[in-house]
Each structure stands twice: as structure tokens, then as C-alpha cells.
Amino acid sequence: MLTKHRGEFYLIMGGLIFSFNGVISTIVLDHITPFRLAQVRSIGAFFILLAIALFIDRHSLKAPKKLIPKLAAYGVIGFAAVQAGYFLGIQRGVPLSLVLIIEFTAPIWIALWIKYVRKTYVPGSMWIAIALSLLGLILLAQVWNGLSFDLLGLLGALISAFALTAYFLIGKSFGTSRSALSLTVWGLGMATLAWSSSMPIWSFPFEVFSIDMDLQGVFAGNTLPGWVLILWVITMGTIVPYIFVISGLRLLSASTSSVIGMMEPVFAGIFAWIWLEQSWNGIQLLGAAVVLVGIFIADRARSAAI
């Protein structure tokens, strides 16, 4: 029982910190593009976690040449694309919790992949999950008003959802042959290579580190240097919650972990409401609840199918 509660604590703490990082990222994105923030986040987290992995278990980082293409896809899609879509969504003004809710529709796309690509059995409850999730998203976006949120921002969130789907599917294909730390280091490393080749480091807007950034919302008028907030995104927004989540996953079942993980959009909505004063109307709150129920049912269907 103590182990179970410890696992729950780790996952809740990971979700809390990940969610709060969305607020910090929103502030930083007023001064840097989503792609540059994803780049610096990947590079910073990669080198720190690489140092940790080399100290703890350097042998786990070894990989045969035939595995490199899969590791590259895992990093470019599962790390670079997920972050880019996520940051694009919140930079374009889509509420933080809505971006996360759309991203968390990944279990639905995974189940559809299993059903129509792998031709494997998927429980009938999957169709209920899809219907609920689509209904909830319609309520959230209030499409009858001509779409309440930025279309490009919503597209970014959807790209993040598809990339997260690939992240889970590719990650699952590794089985237990590689440790979570090893996969994360490789993933961040490949993402770092992708960002560095597409956006050279020497053209990075280094002045962002010295800019005094307004903290917005209830703290408007107060500032912190850019390097402080970016360092937070790298450490407290990436590395620390990753350690919490991985620790929790080792102590709890996949189904329990996924249910607790669904609290992340809720936490994000609370932080954004308190700090950034992002509020939703009653219809949008109902839509968010309907989507979360759909995601829960979809995740159960996915667990039964895999």
C-alpha cells in the first residue's frame, strides 16, 4: 500500500510540475519562437540527462547501428514534434489546458492505429470514446461561433497529439530492451540534432537570455531575466517532472498511471486561471469534462488492445 501511494505521489508531482511549466513557457514564448524554445529545451535537457546517464549507467546508452533509424524517428517525432506543436499552440493563444487536452487525445489515435493499420481487435467502447472526445472538442472550440481559438494554434496542438501517438507506439516497440533513461537521452539527442541542423545554433537569438520578461497575469509588472525562466523550462519543466513520472510508472500499473496523467490538463487549467487569468465559459468547461471522459475510455480500450 505504501508503494502504491508513493507511486501516486510521484505521478501527481510530475503532472503538477509539467502543468506549471506551461505557464512559464507561455511567458517565455512572448520573446522567442516556439521552435527556438523547443530547441533550447531539448539541447539543455539532453546534456544534463546525458551527464546523469554517463554517471549512473553509461552502458545503457549503447545501441547497434540497425537501431539508429528507429531511435532517430523516436527523437524527431516523439520529442521535437511534440514540443514544437505544444509550444506553437500556447504561443498562438490557445488556452494551455486545451492544448494539453488535445494532446492527450493520443490514446484515441493509438487505438485507431491498432484497429485499422495493425488489424487488431479494439473494444467497442472505443467508438464511444471517439464520439465523446469529438463532441467535447466541438464544445471547447465552440465551432458554431466560427471557432473561438486560433486555427494555427489548434493545428499545433493536434500535431502534438499525433506526434505523441507516434512517441508511444515507437516507444512500445522497444519493449524492455532499453531503460527509460537511455531512451530519453537518445530521444532528446536526436531531437537536438534535428533542431541544430534545421536551425543553426549560431543564429540562435541569444539576447533572449538577458531580456527582463514580464511575468504577466496577476504578476504583471514584475520581471525575471530570460535565462532564469528558460533554465526553469529545461530543469523544472523537463528533467525534474520526467524523473517523477518515470519513478511513478515503475510502481503503478499502466492503467492507473494513465488515469492520474489525465489530471495534467486540469492542473494546467487551474494554474492558467490563477496566474494568467485564462478563463472558460460553462460550455467549454463541460466540453473539457466530456473530452477527459472520452480519453479515459479510449485509454482503457487501448490497454485492452495492446
292 closest CA partner among 246, 261, 271: 261
> If you average pLDDT over each of 8-22, 190-204, 246-260, which comes out highest?
190-204
Stretch 151-161: mean pLDDT? 91
Beta-carbon contacts of 218 under 8 Å, excluding residues fewer than 6 positions away, are 274, 275, 277
Q: Is pTM beyond 0.75 here? A: yes
pLDDT of residue 143: 61
What sign for the dihedral angle of Cα 174, 179, 183, 189? negative
Please state, in angstroms and rounded to a whole number, the distance separating the CA atoms of residues 63 and 65: 7
pLDDT of residue 258: 58
**Cβ-based neighbour number of residue 3 at 10 Å:** 10
2-61 pLDDT per residue, tens: 676 787 788 889 889 988 999 999 999 999 999 999 999 999 999 999 999 999 888 889
Please state, in angstroms and rounded to a whole number, the distance separating the CA atoms of residues 85 and 156: 4
User: Is the pLDDT confidence value at 234 over 80?
Assistant: yes
Q: Which residue has the higher pLDDT, 63 or 145?
A: 63
104-139 pLDDT per residue, tens: 788 778 778 877 888 877 777 877 887 887 788 777
Poorest-confidence range of 98-112, 203-217, 225-239? 98-112
pLDDT of residue 112: 80
| 37 contacts 213 by C-beta, under 8 angstroms | no
User: Is the pLDDT confidence value at 62 over 60?
Assistant: yes
pLDDT, averaged across the chain: 84
Residue given cell 514544437 in the structure block: 84
Q: Which residue has the higher pLDDT, 143 or 211?
A: 211
pLDDT of residue 151: 85
